Amino acid sequence: MRTLGVGAAPLLIALLFQGCAALPLAALGGAVLESGAGAVVKTGTEYTMGGTAHRTFSVPINAVRAGVMQAFERTGVMVEPAEDPGDHYTIRGRLAHRTVQVRLRAFSESLTAMTLVVKQNYFLKDRATSSELLEQVEQAIAENPIFARRLQRGVGGDVAASPR
């Protein structure tokens, strides 16, 4: 009889919470995206509920800014002119039916935070395009041999040593 109770408990919980079936899938979604060699979203990338991407690079702000500009050029994002002080930048751009905004902030000489938002309209954000642009920025930075090793993960997820 006790075996029946232990086996029936998960079934009863599943029946009671059948409307919440999307919750476990959402919780597992990040792990699924990060698994495998060709990860869509790298570890360390965070998304808000609204679709804003946040990523921190162990690279100076000027190198991240150059990577953003190169990624925008590759993907056809038309950059709008802007002026910002040296410790942070805001880069705005346009795609067909999309607006793109990147905010860069230097935490130190070699640590830069990047926030990326791609909007379809006032209410909707485009997470898929944000992910691709973020991947292009990371690739552009990785093509610079000075910073390529900083973006590679060692065995066990350790960050590779600084090139200095």
What structural domains and CATH numbers belong to the chain?
42-151 (3.30.160.110)
Neighbour tally for 64: CB within 10 Å: 27
Phi, psi (degrees; rounded to nearest 5) at 92: -115, 145
- CA–CA distance, 143 with 148 (Å, rounded to integer): 6
pLDDT tens-digit series, residues 9-57: 555 555 455 554 444 434 434 433 333 333 334 556 777 767 788 999 9
pLDDT at 84: 65
pLDDT at 46: 72
| Closest listed residue to residue 61, CA positions, set 93, 109, 125, 118 | 109
| Contact indicator for 142, 160 with CB cutoff of 8 Å | no
pLDDT at 14: 54
Neighbouring-strand partners of residue 93: 79, 100
| Contact indicator for 114, 104 with CB cutoff of 8 Å | yes
| Contact indicator for 75, 150 with CB cutoff of 8 Å | no
Residue 34, H or E segment: helix 22-34
| Closest listed residue to residue 151, CA positions, set 32, 43, 34 | 43
Neighbouring-strand partners of residue 103: 90, 115
Q: Please report, for residues 89, 91, 121, 144, 157, the alpha-carbon distance to residue 36 in angstroms, rounded to integers and kept in the order given.
A: 33, 32, 33, 25, 13
pLDDT tens-digit series, residues 69-126: 999 999 999 999 877 666 688 999 999 899 999 999 999 999 999 999 999 988 889 8
| Contact indicator for 50, 115 with CB cutoff of 8 Å | no
What DSSP letter does each residue of 103-146 carry, written as one string? EEEEEETTEEEEEEEEESSSS-B-HHHHHHHHHHHHHHHHTSHH
